[in-house]
Structure 1
Amino acid sequence: MEQSVVSVDVVALRFWSDDPGLTLGVAARAHPPFEGELALPGVLLARGERLALAARRAVHTKLGVPEAAIGAVGQLVTFDEPARDPRGPTLSIAMWAVVGPHEPNATRWVSFDEVPPLAFDHTRIVGAARGHLSRLLWKDLPFTRALTGEEFPATRAVELSTALHGARPDPANLNRTLATIPGLERTAERRRTKATGRPAAVWAFAEV
């Protein structure tokens, strides 16, 4: 029986303070198959390599992101379609990573609603990842904190929820959700944001 290999494909997320919304990174493939086509950053898992390290390697080598700018990393879902790779059976483990500010490069950053056609089954991976990530938001602290930073105005929380759920949340319900997150508190500060132009409440994680 022909044995499969394992690839690690990463949904690398960007949500910098000056960004208008949440985006994910794609880049043109440098080698066959699908040379020149856009794809998620991915690598074959090396013998003895941990998934998180492989995900970081993929983001660094395929998107050109400095290793120091790659924040939290986590696992999403596995794709086992035997024909997903024309080179032969390949098991894909989809991961997420949050990327911090760094110098611009050739990486293309796109929203979940504007993802172009991608090589392999990467379009399907992005679609599945969005659902998983929407369930992690506000529940998985490492993921949430990596995206929001240690403090953020309420309008940024709205932008995050909208990007991952595909619909704008009810502000009152979102505030109630934020109030249940361990270590997250609503401060007395209000900050004007580009999104609305009006001062918004600021939430902050307590120091650990």
Structure 2
Amino acid sequence: MQSVVSVDVVTLRFWGEDQGIRLGVAPRGHPPFAGELALPGVLLGRGERLVAAAHRALVTKLGAPEPAIAAIGQLVTFDEPSRDPRGPTLSIAMWAVLGPHDSPAQWVSFDSVPPLAFDHNAIVGTARTLLTGLLWKDPAFTRALLGHRFPATRAVELATSVHGTRPDPANLNRTLASVPGLNRTGERRRVKATGRPAAVWAFDDDQPSQPLHTRGTVSPDRD
């Protein structure tokens, strides 16, 4: 039997009320694993680009509106032959960042991911390690999560939730200063009623908001 290809999306949000990064999952609508939580995923259509398939998964499986999709990129391929009870299926894991919107998705932290269908827990675990490497090194990924302008306290919260440990402030400042197109402004912003105002960082306006490899065309829904 020839393998088919699925595109499964590790979908992230880091909105104003979120104190850490959140991962989107939703119940599957049909077998296998009907009703069980899973990452949004679809089967890759003939002639379809990976990013187009990821867009389709976000819209049809998470209920995300197109304008909320801030950025998409590719992570890794999973090739365990028994990962899908329907037969051999390759899974290409993608990452995506969504901006604020109303969605029926369930949002969880990396440290509280419930049991998921297929091998999606393994995908999440591997993705967390890979995303840890992308944070600060990929300006499009970093900007999609933090926005164009943000206080340093938000960077601390983001780094803590991705890495699992709170970063050293001095090391984090040096890391932020090394991100292409990111600059420390002269502004300070008080985030909480108590505590010192935090330094504000901002991306250059000419920085791309999407990775260069996030291109594709939309095709009909398949799963």
TM-score range, shorter chain: over 0.9
Q: What count of residue pairs does the alignment treat as equivalent?
A: 206
Residue type at the aligned position of 2:52 = L
Alignment of 1:91-110 (within 5 A): 91-103=90-102, 105-110=103-108
2:112 and 2:16 map into 1 onto residues whose CA distance is 21
Residue type at the aligned position of 2:2 = Q
- 1:171 aligned onto 2:169: yes
TM-score (norm 2): 0.90
TM-score (norm 1): 0.96
CA pair 123-34 structure 1, distance change in 2 beyond 3 A: same
Following superposition, the deviation at residue 117 of structure 1 comes to: 0.5
Aligned to 1:44: 43
Aligned to 1:138: 136
CA pair 86-194 structure 1, distance change in 2 beyond 3 A: farther
Aligned to 1:159: 157
RMSD of aligned Cα (Å): 1.2
Deviating above 6 A after TM superposition, structure 1's stretches of 4 or more consecutive aligned residues are none
Q: Which runs of 5+ in 1 are unaligned?
A: none
Alignment of 1:14-29 (within 5 A): 14-29=13-28
List per-residue Cα deviations over 1:15-45 (Å, max 9, x = no partner).
1122222101000011001111000000000
Residue type at the aligned position of 1:13 = L
Structure possessing the higher relative contact order (Cα contacts under 8 Å, 6 or more residues apart): 2
List per-residue Cα deviations over 1:54-112 (Å, max 9, x = no partner).
01110110000001111110000100000000000000000000001112x32100000
Alignment of 1:1-208 (within 5 A): 2-103=1-102, 105-194=103-192, 197-208=195-206
Following superposition, the deviation at residue 192 of structure 1 comes to: 1.6
In the alignment, is the contact (CA less than 8 A) between 2:4 and 2:90 conserved in 1? yes
In the alignment, is the contact (CA less than 8 A) between 1:28 and 1:37 conserved in 2? yes
Following superposition, the deviation at residue 198 of structure 1 comes to: 3.7
Report the secondary structure of 2:131's partner residue.
helix
Q: How many percent identity over aligned positions?
A: 75
Residue type at the aligned position of 2:169 = P
Report the secondary structure of 2:179's partner residue.
coil
In the alignment, is the contact (CA less than 8 A) between 1:192 and 1:198 conserved in 2? yes
In the alignment, is the contact (CA less than 8 A) between 2:20 and 2:160 conserved in 1? no
Following superposition, the deviation at residue 196 of structure 1 comes to: 6.7
